């Protein structure tokens, strides 16, 4: 019975799946989610957004009155003024005061309200800038992911070429041993196998390098094992429709965060100009204060003095004030602030126009590249199918002894090139289609995960 239990336990250990190994296989969605959550550059951009949110909250709090409590204690020596009698005294004394004051700015040329609006638009610009950084990161991950797919595809094609050569080598070696083929033919096929093994080694190293670059892009911990889950490239969908440049651009202008961020900055600068102009107008502030204090002469002949509680109650005083400030000359400070705000606004308008032109150029090139890439893919796919049939025919002739190793090797090399070109044009078309779709949505999540 114990032996049966022991054998059963051993079988469970042997057939238990490698959970650790499975956890190291990352899908494209896993890579993007991890990068969005942990990328240092994106985290720093989020901190800038939080700073903008804090500034927006502070600007709204400026509408509320301020409230401050103060206290001080003082020991006097020599000549001083007795606050009880208002007479000069040379006696050592101890004083302690308390104050509570508040003030509220009633009018400041609408500078406070315009500052609130400016801070709000800057916060929105920060949120859009965060999306820009995030989408840029996702673009890099997508590009590297498809580089991994391409490198793995080349590795697979090179392995297939090596397997074909190994199969023919095995057949020819058997035939040489039976005296049906010359030894020179065995040398030729062995040379071909060696060449294919070298090509496979290069392709394998290139695939590992692409995987390393993806790991570095994700900023994973050093020494952590990493691999990606590869989709079925043969079943990856491709559309055959073309894209209109103007249609894509008209949608992108109102969608992409890279333009929205600048537009919000422009609105914020308009409010900052209005806030700066508020410095020309008078300002009105209202406030109030409550004061009380305690005074004690420290000497033997001071006599009886009121207690601390009595003085705090009796020395209580209140004040309400209204303050008006009329700016006349402030060394060109207000004029300078207005001029700088206008210059920044003009610069932002030019930057927005420049970004629009750049976006149109990118969309134009992307649409043209996609249309050209679609034609290249269809031609490469057709060429691949033709070379498959051609190689099958050459392989049969080679096995029948009708062609030599050189012709067989040339046909196999042509097939390999057709396979890699079909893979390259397909992945290239997928990336270009995804890029154009992004221009019309501004969000990669909807394109990848749905």
Q: Which residues contact 154 (CB under 8 A, 6 or more apart)?
A: 203, 206, 207, 420, 423
Of 185-194, 344-353, 398-407, the poorest mean pLDDT is in 398-407
Q: Is residue 340 part of a domain?
A: yes
- What pLDDT, on a 0 to 100 scale, did the predictor assign at position 233? 66
Q: Which residues pair with 324 in a beta bridge?
A: 284
Same domain, 289 and 375: no
The predicted model gives 244-264 an average pLDDT of: 90
CA distance 426 to 376: 9
- What pLDDT, on a 0 to 100 scale, did the predictor assign at position 28? 85
Cβ count within 10 A of residue 270: 18
Same domain, 397 and 354: yes
Q: Which residue has the higher pLDDT, 448 or 78?
A: 78
Q: Which residues pair with 80 in a beta bridge?
A: 89
- What pLDDT, on a 0 to 100 scale, did the predictor assign at position 89? 80
CA angle 223, 143, 412 (to 5 degrees): 95
Instruction: Please report, rounded to a whole number, the percentage of residues in the chain having pLDDT higher than 70.
Output: 90
Q: CB of 141 within 8 A of CB of 33?
A: no
Instruction: Quote the domain boundaries for residue 415.
Output: 17-64+112-143+231-281+331-448
The two structure tokens encoding residue 244: 């209109």
Same domain, 258 and 296: no
Please give the distance of CA 362 from its chain centroid, rounded to a whole number. 20
Q: Buried (b) or exposed (e) across 170-187, using 16+ Cβ within 10 A?
A: eebbebbeeeebeeebbe
Q: Which of 326, 360, 381 corresponds to the end of one domain?
A: 326
Give the DSSP H or E segment for 238. Answer: none
Q: Which of 298, 326, 354 corresponds to the end of one domain?
A: 326
Same domain, 346 and 444: yes
- What pLDDT, on a 0 to 100 scale, did the predictor assign at position 13? 35
Q: CB of 99 within 8 A of CB of 71?
A: yes
Count up the domains in the chain and report the number: 2
Give the DSSP H or E segment for 249. Answer: helix 245-253
CA distance 43 to 35: 10
* pLDDT tens per residue, range 32-55: 889 999 999 999 999 999 999 999
Q: Is residue 166 part of a domain?
A: no
Angle between helices 111-177 and 333-399 in degrees, nearest 10: 10
- What pLDDT, on a 0 to 100 scale, did the predictor assign at position 448? 56
- What pLDDT, on a 0 to 100 scale, did the predictor assign at position 17? 40
- What pLDDT, on a 0 to 100 scale, did the predictor assign at position 443? 66
Give the DSSP H or E segment for 84. Answer: none
Of 129, 133, 140, 135, the C-alpha closest to 218 is 140
Q: Is residue 50 part of a domain?
A: yes
C-alpha pair distances (Å), 210 with each of 23, 148, 151, 193, 368: 20, 5, 7, 26, 28
CATH code for position 439: 1.20.1600.10
Q: Is residue 202 part of a domain?
A: no
- What pLDDT, on a 0 to 100 scale, did the predictor assign at position 168? 86
Same domain, 311 and 415: no
- What pLDDT, on a 0 to 100 scale, did the predictor assign at position 8? 34
Q: Is residue 192 part of a domain?
A: no
Q: Is residue 404 part of a domain?
A: yes
CA distance 392 to 447: 39
Same domain, 246 and 316: no
pTM of the model: 0.80
Burial of 120 (0-12, 13-18, 19+ CB in 10 A): buried
Local structure of residue 227 (DSSP, 8 states): E
Local structure of residue 233 (DSSP, 8 states): G
The predicted model gives 126-138 an average pLDDT of: 91
Local structure of 56: helix, strand or coil: helix
Backbone angles phi and psi of 98, in degrees to 5: -135, 140
Please give the distance of CA 343 from its chain centroid, rounded to a whole number. 30
CA distance 54 to 164: 66
Same domain, 277 and 303: no
Local structure of residue 442 (DSSP, 8 states): S
CA distance 392 to 394: 6
Of 2, 91, 33, 132, the C-alpha closest to 448 is 33
Same domain, 367 and 272: yes
Same domain, 56 and 117: yes
Question: Among positive and negative, which fits the CA dihedral 413, 414, 419, 422?
Answer: positive
The predicted model gives 187-205 an average pLDDT of: 91
Same domain, 300 and 443: no
Local structure of residue 281 (DSSP, 8 states): S
HSE at residue 437, side-chain half, CA atoms within 13 A, is 17
Q: Is residue 367 part of a domain?
A: yes
Q: Which residues pair with 285 in a beta bridge?
A: 105, 323
Q: Is residue 190 part of a domain?
A: no
Cβ count within 10 A of residue 302: 12
Cβ count within 10 A of residue 194: 13
CA distance 241 to 220: 39
CA distance 360 to 132: 17
The two structure tokens encoding residue 89: 């005294």
- What pLDDT, on a 0 to 100 scale, did the predictor assign at position 236? 64
Local structure of 295: helix, strand or coil: strand
Per-residue pLDDT at 424 exceeds 80: yes
Same domain, 133 and 251: yes
Same domain, 314 and 433: no
Q: CB of 241 within 8 A of CB of 434?
A: no
Mean pLDDT, the chain, as a whole number? 85
- What pLDDT, on a 0 to 100 scale, did the predictor assign at position 123? 96
Q: Which of 273, 303, 326 corresponds to the end of one domain?
A: 326
């Amino acid at each position: 019975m114990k032996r049966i239990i022991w054998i059963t336990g051993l079988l469970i250990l042997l057939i238990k799946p490698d959970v650790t190994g499975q956890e190291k296989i990352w899908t494209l969605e896993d890579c993007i989610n991890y990068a969005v959550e942990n990328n240092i550059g994106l985290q720093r951009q989020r901190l800038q957004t939080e700073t903008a949110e804090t500034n927006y909250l502070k600007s709204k709090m400026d509408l509320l009155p301020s409230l401050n409590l103060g206290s001080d204690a003082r020991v006097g020596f020599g000549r001083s003024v007795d606050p009880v009698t208002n007479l000069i005294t040379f006696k050592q004394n101890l004083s302690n005061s308390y104050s509570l004051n508040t003030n509220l700015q009633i009018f400041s040329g609408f500078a406070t309200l315009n500052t609130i609006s400016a801070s709000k638009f800057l916060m929105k610009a920060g949120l859009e800038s965060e999306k820009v950084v995030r989408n840029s990161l996702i673009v890099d991950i997508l590009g590297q992911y498809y580089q991994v797919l391409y490198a793995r595809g080349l590795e697979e094609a090179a392995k297939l070429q090596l397997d074909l050569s190994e199969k023919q080598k095995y057949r020819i070696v058997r035939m040489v041993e039976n005296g049906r083929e010359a030894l020179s033919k065995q040398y030729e096929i062995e040379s071909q196998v060696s060449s294919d093994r070298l090509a496979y080694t290069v392709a394998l190293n290139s695939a590992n390098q692409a995987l390393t670059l993806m790991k570095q892009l994700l900023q994973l911990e050093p020494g952590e094992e990493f691999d990606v889950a590869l989709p079925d490239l043969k079943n990856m969908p491709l559309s055959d429709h073309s894209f209109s440049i103007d249609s894509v651009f008209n949608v992108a202008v109102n969608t992409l965060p890279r333009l929205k961020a600048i537009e919000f900055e422009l609105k914020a600068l308009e409010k900052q100009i209005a806030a700066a102009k508020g410095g020309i107008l008078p300002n009105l502030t209202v406030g109030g204060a409550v004061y009380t204090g305690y005074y004690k002469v420290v000497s033997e002949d001071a006599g009886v003095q009121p207690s601390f509680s009595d003085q705090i109650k009796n020395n209580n005083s209140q004040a309400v004030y209204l303050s008006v400030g009329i700016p006349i000359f402030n060394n060109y400070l207000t004029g300078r602030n207005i001029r700088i705000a206008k210059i920044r606004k003009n610069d932002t308008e030019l930057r927005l126009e420049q970004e629009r032109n750049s976006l149109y150029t990118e969309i134009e090139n992307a649409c043209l590249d996609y249309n050209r890439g679609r034609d290249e893919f269809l031609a490469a796919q057709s060429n691949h199918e033709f070379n498959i049939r051609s190689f099958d025919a050459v392989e049969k002739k080679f096995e029948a002894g009708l062609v030599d190793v050189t012709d067989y090797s040339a046909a196999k090399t042509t097939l390999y090139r057709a396979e890699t070109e079909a893979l390259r044009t397909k992945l290239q078309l997928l990336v270009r289609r995804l890029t154009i779709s992004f221009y019309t949505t501004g969000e990669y999540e909807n394109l990848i995960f749905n």
